[in-house]
Amino acid sequence: MGKGLQVRQIASESVGFCKTIAHDHPGSTARRALILSLAPLALLTGCGQCGSGDPEPVGKPVDNVENSATPSRVLTNATTGSHLANCAATLDQARSPLFVSSLFDQSTILSVDPSGAHHRLELKDTAAIGGLYRLPDDNIAALEFGGDRLLKFGPPAAPGPMVQTQPPLTVCQTPRLLTQHGQKAWILCRDAKRRLVEVDLQAWTARPIELPGSTPADLALDPSGKWLLVANLASHDLTPVDLTTGKSAPRLPVEKEPYRLIASASTDKARMVVLYANSNRATLIDPLERSLVRTHVLEHIPTDAVFSPDGQHLFMLSAGAGRLMVASADTLEVSQSLEAPVGSASVVWNQGRLLLSTGKGGALRIFDWKDQSLTLVDEVQLGAAAGKICAGPGPDNVWLTGPQAGRVARYKVQ
């Protein structure tokens, strides 16, 4: 079996975080770390999500959903002919929505404008591009997964491909994840040194930060931007980093194999939740105090989560069980549990609505949040197995990808 096929098979294993990770390979932390590192890629590229039969037509409404006075609408529908990977939504120079995507295992940046026209920027002497992140100036930061650099692109002045707005910046070998606050960004590296790199987005300079812990898997910022926490998969703890001094504080022990950190956006209620590999446990963290609030055992294994804007509630997706759960951000006690298609890819909060990508179900579901309860108000078919939701500024800037089909659609959500 070739190397590419091995990676695709491992990525497919990660969808739903199957118990084979723990049971078929006991004690293999390195293999579990590889599988978990590929899990987001598996969800974005549609690995393991291909169902039988033909997908529903694009824009087909679904019965048995509550009527909405302002339903979502399909505004853009494009077939790119490419296998889409990570994506970001931003604005072009005319302040119109713009979709940007990397392509699976390629050094290419693809962009789609509101008309559905798509353009490719082929990068020379560049390794495969991975994660894409929208920056405050509407530019896009891109990580060179197969190399050691951070790249920056902006929308063109006239219709056409994205343009490179900064020279490539060397940061570290195998940059994997990025988070940003203001004019600073922090990149988690999966090289031999397992380090963190701080980037000044204005000066376009980088400096390394010491990062104790073993096998860093994820990172998240507290809402104030003072503390950054890193989840360490193999050492079963979190590393807090004081971003004022660039120094780490004592590590915080948590449950076995933390692999996801989700932060609240509310400055009034700073909270983070820790999700674990193949576990139905979740842990609430106070990031400002660097303290554990509580660990709670859930009925289902959560695979994605997002906080409500006020930080009072947490919406958790269990892709393997096919459930969408609503929990208190104080106790993690679940107050509502709704059906979601098995293999659903992600949840996102946008414009007062909770959005769900249904994975192989090939649809975007839109939920209203009222009186501390979710209500399904709309569902629109993509016409292909769905991947990531990319939401940018404005009500008309929500995009859903069909990664393997090369499909992308833009929705109006109000």
**Tens digit of pLDDT for each residue in 145-199?**
989 999 999 999 999 999 999 999 999 988 999 999 999 999 999 877 778 999 9
pLDDT of 50 > 80? The answer is: no
* Section 66-85 average pLDDT: 76
Q: How many CB atoms lie within 10 A of CB 7?
A: 16
Could you give the angle at which helices 29-45 and 3-14 cross, rounded to 10 degrees? 80
* pLDDT tens column, 219-252: 999 988 999 999 999 999 999 999 999 899 999 9
365 touches 381 (CB < 8 A): no
pLDDT in the model for residue 351: 87
User: What sign results for the dihedral spanned by CA atoms 40, 106, 408, 96?
Assistant: positive
* pLDDT tens column, 255-264: 999 999 999 9
3-class state of residue 154 by DSSP = strand
> Could you identify the residue written with the tokens 């992308």?
408
3-class state of residue 86 by DSSP = strand
397 touches 391 (CB < 8 A): yes
Beta pairing class for 97-103 and 84-91: antiparallel
**What's the chain's average pLDDT?**
84
pLDDT in the model for residue 72: 57
* pLDDT tens column, 354-376: 999 999 999 999 999 999 999 99
Concatenated DSSP letters of 202-219:
TTTEEEEE---SSSEEEE
Q: In the chain, where are the structural domains located?
A: 80-209
Lowest pLDDT segment from 15-29, 134-148, 309-323, 395-409: 15-29
* pLDDT tens column, 267-276: 888 899 999 9
Q: Which residues have a Cβ under 8 Å from the Cβ of 254 and sit 6 or more positions away?
A: 231, 236, 237, 238, 274, 283, 292, 295
Q: Which CATH number does the domain 80-209 belong to among 2.130.10.10, 3.30.830.10, 3.40.225.10, 2.40.50.1070?
A: 2.130.10.10
pLDDT in the model for residue 394: 78
Closest CA relative to residue 60, chosen from 52, 72, 69: 72
Q: Residue 388 and residue 130: Cα distance in Å, rounded?
A: 14
Q: Residue 313 and residue 337: Cα distance in Å, rounded?
A: 13
Express as a percent the part of the chain with pLDDT over 90: 72
pLDDT of 94 > 70? The answer is: yes
- Beta-ladder partners of 365: 356, 379
209 touches 196 (CB < 8 A): yes
